[in-house]
Structure 1
């Protein structure tokens, strides 16, 4: 399935599914609580950094059409970065 045609809700659903089905157990520990995790909703590849921006840039450099979802580790707040210039956020 091509991620280009996914809705924001589909990107969020798929990324959260990756998170719940394995990533959570790897990343939710003291050092990472409060940091941002950015997940490629198609592949499940992810990265962690303080703001989420560095990881989003790296993932977009590897795969420019990636549909990314960013959330704070240990919290229930999230933002979605769609196929848009890096200075715009698709919410």
Structure 2
């Protein structure tokens, strides 16, 4: 299996991926898919939607083995979170 090479910095990958998501992908996938993952090829704008990063990204690579994927979780600010978050306000 060939190793895939990243051709963009993390910052450029995020900038392009977020711009593609906001400019048209969001409207196509948001309704009814809260919490799912969108893997976006930042070079072509192709995307795949699935429950996990791995599944969405693998399907994107099946379509385009040279994809430069960016992942975003629908309705969330981050794909992953660490630790716990209390919804209660402390006094």
TM-score range, shorter chain: 0.7 to 0.9
Q: TM-score, normalised by structure 1?
A: 0.73
Structure 2 counterparts to residues 1-91 of structure 1, below 5 A: 4-29=6-31, 31-78=32-79
Aligned residues: 76
Give the Cα separation in 1 of the matches to 2:37 and 2:19. 17
| Runs of 5+ unmatched residues, structure 1 | 80-91
TM-score, normalising length: structure 2: 0.73
Q: Which structure is higher in strand share?
A: 1
Gaps of 5+ in 2: 81-91
Of structures 1 and 2, the larger Rg is shown by 2
